[in-house]
Structure 1
Amino acid sequence: MCGIVGCIGIENVVDYLIEGLKELEYRGYDSAGIAVLDNGELKTIKAVGKIKNLEDKISKVKLNKPSVGIAHTRWATHGKPTEINAHPHRGEFSAVVHNGIIENYQEIKKFLQKEGVNFLSQTDTEVIVKLFEYYYNGDEVEAFQKTLEKLDGAYAILLISEKFPKKILFAKKGSPLIVAKNENKIYFASSDAPLIGHATTAHYLEDDEWGWVDEEIHIFKGHEKLSPRFKDLPNNKESAKKSGFRFYMEKEIYEQYDVLKENTLGRNTEYGIHFEELDREFFEGINNIIISACGTSYHAGLVGKYLLERDAKIRTNVEVASELRYREPLLTKDTLFVVISQSGETADTLETLKMAKKAGLKTLALCNVDNSSIVREADRTILLRAGIEKGVASTKAFATQVMTLWMLSNYLAKKNEYHIINEAIEVTKVDATLHEKIKRLSKRYLHGHGFFYIGRDIFFPLALEGALKLKEISYIHAEGYPAGEMKHGPIALADPDLYVVALLSKNILFEKTKSNIEELVARDATVLTISSEYIEMTDDFVKINDTSHPMVEFFEMMVVTQLLAMEVAIRMGNDVDMPRNLAKSVTVE
């Protein structure tokens, strides 16, 4: 995801901006840029690719002693990863950097174009600076307020201008932004890491806070002036990147709420699903879908099969890529070939994509890394917008894969589940009480002879994923199984040392799944049930929110299973971020 830094009142503005961008590289990006006020003159420098490319361009620009600067690493959402689309975006006398998505940017753009305003980029961000300059009549604060009132969506914004060369305007809604200081030096960043070693205290901006900095920090919420709520910054950069969490995996589980908002912004609208990357013509003549993936991505694909067949009424097969590529499958041209990969470099998945291309099939990639091999190979790509995932055991990438498939099924079915999708995002916000309960429960589940995760319908793929998470990081044997299949063999293993995690949906096959749980309880298995309906007979119970939609249940159960796996692994004394024998990007067969 995109990164922001900014500063005012320091001597080495450019050095701080570049150093800050490098601290944010772990978030992922495809271009970078800076804007500085150099003796009152606004200068912007941008480059595609790595920050080294930006440094090379900066070295060729004559700069005196810039006093104010903002910088940005961009992960493309609106518009391709080009220099024109890179941040900062300029108007006639101002420049802006922005994280998030402006949902109504097309409406604003059309209005400004009618007023004679010209645009250079394909981005939503450019409308911010152009709208600000449209409103500017000598009072930058009034113009900024008017601009913010017009913006729908999520944003973290820094704006500088030749008209007020000793000031930075800022605003935050839905995307993180921190303002920090050390004496009269003031810094901005998207996360703690760029601030460590420069600032000593920081104010973590809340949604709808805005203001400006000059020699002081001025913060408002609406028209009410606030006093900054300063907190001491940590002094360890690695710890700062973890934002106080014990492991990256824990941080990434907690990030899923924000990541899913990012994933759906501009796509899940009140008028239905909109994919900038797709058009209806792309799906003409398609009667079948094949999904090819590995590991966690394969499990996401299985969820997609249920959704696509049920809602879009398109026959869908999900294939393990390492098997598909050697099976000599029947590939017909009325088939859409979909590949799913977090890294975009998964070797087996990439080879199946090449195979489908050779057979003349239309191809679509769901991927988290722009410019990766899979993205370059596929006809079309929907980027997951999950940001960099450092924990080897995937959490937020899986969440965005499932969400993207859900939106795709809505898109193909011309179905509008706007409010339900938003409800599903809300339940991924980790509840501290729930996490503490799972932490306590994990003590019981350390020394058995294995786990079965069971579920039906979409909860069967979630059972597979829950079992995979546990065995990846705890090294305890775990299997995911269809709940109705346990009596066809695996129930022979049932005894008090067999642990069962039952995913019990109120909305899909409740009574049948409950009967399957009773069969295991009768044979003395130790059962943990996750459901909105209390089940007295099981050993442990985790209650989720009551809802009328199974996908809302799915996303909340997903979080519970991730937390359980992590807490069991931590009690085992394992490094959950770097489990043995595993790699984050599997680039070999």
Structure 2
Amino acid sequence: MIEGKAGRNMTAEIGEQPRILAELVETRAEIAAVAEAVARRPPRFALLAARGSSDHAALYAKYLIEVLLGLPAGLVSPSTTTLYGARPDLRDVLLVSVSQSGGSPDLLEVTEAARERGALTVAVSNTPDSPLTRAAELAVPVKAGEEHAVAATKTYSATLLALYLFVDAVRGGIGTEVADIGRLAQHSLDSTEAEVARAVDRYRFADRVITTGRGYSYATALEAALKLAETSYLATRAYSGADLLHGPVAAVDEDTAVLAITSEGNGGTAMRDPLDAVAARGADVLAVGSAASAMRAAVRIELPRTAEEVAPILEILPVQRLALSLALARGFDPDNPRGLRKVTKTR
């Protein structure tokens, strides 16, 4: 195991999240003002543009928009604009660009092109004066503070909360379901330490990991796979619980570790059949979420009950700590993952 300063930044930033989330809720009025501007120009549908961890946050927002607002929503393929020059008619469309740094050239180009083609553009970023924020007509601040660890932690959870507050405000909500999110986040970190440590001992020598979830929690499964890959270099694949049963389950055996995100609600209920199937094939299942106790699993990390659409903000917290601790146990420094930089610029 690496000693000393390894993982210091990631450790600190995981611990900052309860305070950051609580403070972001206190600034809800600022986000609500952006939502009011959107509500005055009701869109026909919404598009979301993002990369990396922000892409997982955008998927979460897609579920929020479709379920809570009743609008069709889709994820943009930036290369259709940047590589192929597509310029579709986007009148009466809401484009939400999600980027922690706000500096990725492809997202900037997509946002500028969408605005030129008639879209109402909203930037969701942790960098207030970023090129992306300046390019968009409206901006939702993430307010997580500067993040030093390469692996996104506090910016991810704060982006989820910012997106929830935004969508909730568009529908006329006042953030009731997240009023106590800071306390719940602290409890989610404090109460799960022992089970995270148990999971690290059990999975530190794993070679193959599948992460899975359904509904809102599918975004958490994708982010979990990314965190494990970039910090512990694990060969990790993420699947929707439904897609897992369509073919990938054939590759599951007793050498497969399955990290399942299972919170109470429709998505969590739908995870029972997939987990029964992988457990029957000998997979070692780790269930994380407020419904973990009801799942067929070898290890369970239970979290507080919340509205289903809020659960991903808490689900990711013990998963981040799991990724951090697994990296250290496997002899890696998660603050310095090989081949990665904090800001990745793509086109």
User: TM over 0.5: same fold?
Assistant: yes
Distance in 2, matches of 1:485 and 1:588, equals 29
* Map of 2:45 onto structure 1: 288
Which of 283, 308, 317 lines up with 2:74 in the alignment? Answer: 317
* Map of 1:236 onto structure 2: none
The superposition leaves residues 42-79 of structure 1 with CA deviations (integer Å, 9 ceiling, x where unpaired) of xxxxxxxxxxxxxxxxxxxxxxxxxxxxxxxxxxxxxx
Distance in 1, matches of 2:199 and 2:36, equals 48
Q: Do the aligned partners of 2:211 and 2:236 also contact (CA within 8 Å) in 1?
A: yes
Larger-gyration structure (1/2): 1
* Map of 1:372 onto structure 2: 130
Tell me the CA shift for residue 499 of structure 1: 0.7
Q: What secondary structure sits across from 2:192 in the alignment?
A: helix
Distance in 2, matches of 1:446 and 1:519, equals 24
Tell me the CA shift for residue 507 of structure 1: 1.4
Q: Do the aligned partners of 2:69 and 2:167 also contact (CA within 8 Å) in 1?
A: yes
Distance in 1, matches of 2:277 and 2:213, equals 14
Q: Residues 395 and 492 of structure 1: is their aligned pair in 2 closer, same or farther, counting only changes over 3 Å? A: same
* Map of 2:280 onto structure 1: 522
* Map of 2:9 onto structure 1: 248
Tell me the CA shift for residue 267 of structure 1: 1.0
Distance in 2, matches of 1:510 and 1:426, equals 23
Does residue 301 of structure 1 match 2:62?
A: no
Tell me the CA shift for residue 291 of structure 1: 0.7
Distance in 2, matches of 1:446 and 1:281, equals 47
Corresponding letter in the other structure for 1:321: P
Distance in 1, matches of 2:306 and 2:334, equals 34
Q: Residues 585 and 274 of structure 1: is their aligned pair in 2 closer, same or farther, counting only changes over 3 Å? A: closer
Tell me the CA shift for residue 436 of structure 1: 3.4
Q: Do the aligned partners of 1:503 and 1:557 also contact (CA within 8 Å) in 2?
A: yes
Q: What secondary structure sits across from 1:550 in the alignment?
A: coil
Does residue 395 of structure 1 match 2:153?
A: yes
Which of 248, 253, 262 lines up with 1:495 in the alignment? Answer: 253
Q: Residues 283 and 394 of structure 1: is their aligned pair in 2 closer, same or farther, counting only changes over 3 Å? A: farther
* Map of 2:108 onto structure 1: 350
Tell me the CA shift for residue 448 of structure 1: 2.8
Q: What secondary structure sits across from 1:427 in the alignment?
A: helix
Q: Residues 281 and 392 of structure 1: is their aligned pair in 2 closer, same or farther, counting only changes over 3 Å? A: closer
Q: Do the aligned partners of 1:463 and 1:480 also contact (CA within 8 Å) in 2?
A: yes
Distance in 2, matches of 1:281 and 1:383, equals 15
* Map of 1:543 onto structure 2: 302
Q: Residues 535 and 277 of structure 1: is their aligned pair in 2 closer, same or farther, counting only changes over 3 Å? A: closer
Q: Residues 284 and 277 of structure 1: is their aligned pair in 2 closer, same or farther, counting only changes over 3 Å? A: closer
Tell me the CA shift for residue 250 of structure 1: 1.3
- Which structure would you say has the larger RCO, counting Cα contacts within 8 Å and 6 or more residues apart? 2
Q: What secondary structure sits across from 2:64 in the alignment?
A: helix
Distance in 2, matches of 1:372 and 1:431, equals 31
Q: What secondary structure sits across from 1:249 in the alignment?
A: helix
Higher strand share: 1
Q: Do the aligned partners of 2:258 and 2:284 also contact (CA within 8 Å) in 1?
A: yes
Tell me the CA shift for residue 410 of structure 1: 1.1
The superposition leaves residues 277-329 of structure 1 with CA deviations (integer Å, 9 ceiling, x where unpaired) of 55436741421111100011111011001111111122211224345533526
Q: Do the aligned partners of 2:150 and 2:335 also contact (CA within 8 Å) in 1?
A: yes
Q: Residues 333 and 571 of structure 1: is their aligned pair in 2 closer, same or farther, counting only changes over 3 Å? A: same
Q: What secondary structure sits across from 1:366 in the alignment?
A: strand
* Map of 2:25 onto structure 1: 264
The superposition leaves residues 69-123 of structure 1 with CA deviations (integer Å, 9 ceiling, x where unpaired) of xxxxxxxxxxxxxxxxxxxxxxxxxxxxxxxxxxxxxxxxxxxxxxxxxxxxxxx
Which of 333, 336, 345 lines up with 1:575 in the alignment? Answer: 333
Corresponding letter in the other structure for 1:326: L
Q: Residues 322 and 263 of structure 1: is their aligned pair in 2 closer, same or farther, counting only changes over 3 Å? A: farther
Q: Residues 284 and 584 of structure 1: is their aligned pair in 2 closer, same or farther, counting only changes over 3 Å? A: same
Q: Do the aligned partners of 2:275 and 2:296 also contact (CA within 8 Å) in 1?
A: no
Tell me the CA shift for residue 552 of structure 1: 4.1
The superposition leaves residues 98-157 of structure 1 with CA deviations (integer Å, 9 ceiling, x where unpaired) of xxxxxxxxxxxxxxxxxxxxxxxxxxxxxxxxxxxxxxxxxxxxxxxxxxxxxxxxxxxx
Which of 217, 221, 239 lines up with 1:463 in the alignment? Answer: 221
Q: Do the aligned partners of 2:7 and 2:335 also contact (CA within 8 Å) in 1?
A: no
Q: Residues 313 and 512 of structure 1: is their aligned pair in 2 closer, same or farther, counting only changes over 3 Å? A: closer
Q: Do the aligned partners of 2:93 and 2:119 also contact (CA within 8 Å) in 1?
A: yes
Q: What secondary structure sits across from 2:157 in the alignment?
A: helix
Q: Do the aligned partners of 1:495 and 1:524 also contact (CA within 8 Å) in 2?
A: yes
Q: Do the aligned partners of 1:294 and 1:321 also contact (CA within 8 Å) in 2?
A: no
Which of 312, 315, 328 lines up with 1:557 in the alignment? Answer: 315
**Mean CA deviation greater in 553-562 or 430-439:** 430-439
Distance in 2, matches of 1:479 and 1:553, equals 22
Which of 61, 66, 83 lines up with 1:326 in the alignment? Answer: 83
The superposition leaves residues 509-528 of structure 1 with CA deviations (integer Å, 9 ceiling, x where unpaired) of 44431111000000001111
Q: Do the aligned partners of 2:32 and 2:165 also contact (CA within 8 Å) in 1?
A: no
* Map of 2:172 onto structure 1: 414
Q: Residues 331 and 471 of structure 1: is their aligned pair in 2 closer, same or farther, counting only changes over 3 Å? A: farther
Which of 267, 289, 298 lines up with 1:531 in the alignment? Answer: 289
Q: Do the aligned partners of 2:216 and 2:267 also contact (CA within 8 Å) in 1?
A: no
Tell me the CA shift for residue 551 of structure 1: 3.4
Tell me the CA shift for residue 553 of structure 1: 2.9
Q: Do the aligned partners of 1:425 and 1:555 also contact (CA within 8 Å) in 2?
A: no
Q: What secondary structure sits across from 1:488 in the alignment?
A: coil
Corresponding letter in the other structure for 2:24: N
Report % sequence identity: 26
The superposition leaves residues 201-239 of structure 1 with CA deviations (integer Å, 9 ceiling, x where unpaired) of xxxxxxxxxxxxxxxxxxxxxxxxxxxxxxxxxxxxxx9
The superposition leaves residues 145-192 of structure 1 with CA deviations (integer Å, 9 ceiling, x where unpaired) of xxxxxxxxxxxxxxxxxxxxxxxxxxxxxxxxxxxxxxxxxxxxxxxx
Q: Figure out how many residues of one structure are paired with residues of the other and give that number.
A: 341
The superposition leaves residues 490-543 of structure 1 with CA deviations (integer Å, 9 ceiling, x where unpaired) of 112211211101111221244431111000000001111113342474211112
Distance in 2, matches of 1:251 and 1:372, equals 25
Corresponding letter in the other structure for 1:249: M
Where in structure 2 are the equivalents of 1:118-197 lying within 5 Å? none
Q: Residues 495 and 283 of structure 1: is their aligned pair in 2 closer, same or farther, counting only changes over 3 Å? A: same
Q: What secondary structure sits across from 2:32 in the alignment?
A: coil
Corresponding letter in the other structure for 1:445: Y
Corresponding letter in the other structure for 1:292: A
Distance in 1, matches of 2:267 and 2:52, equals 26
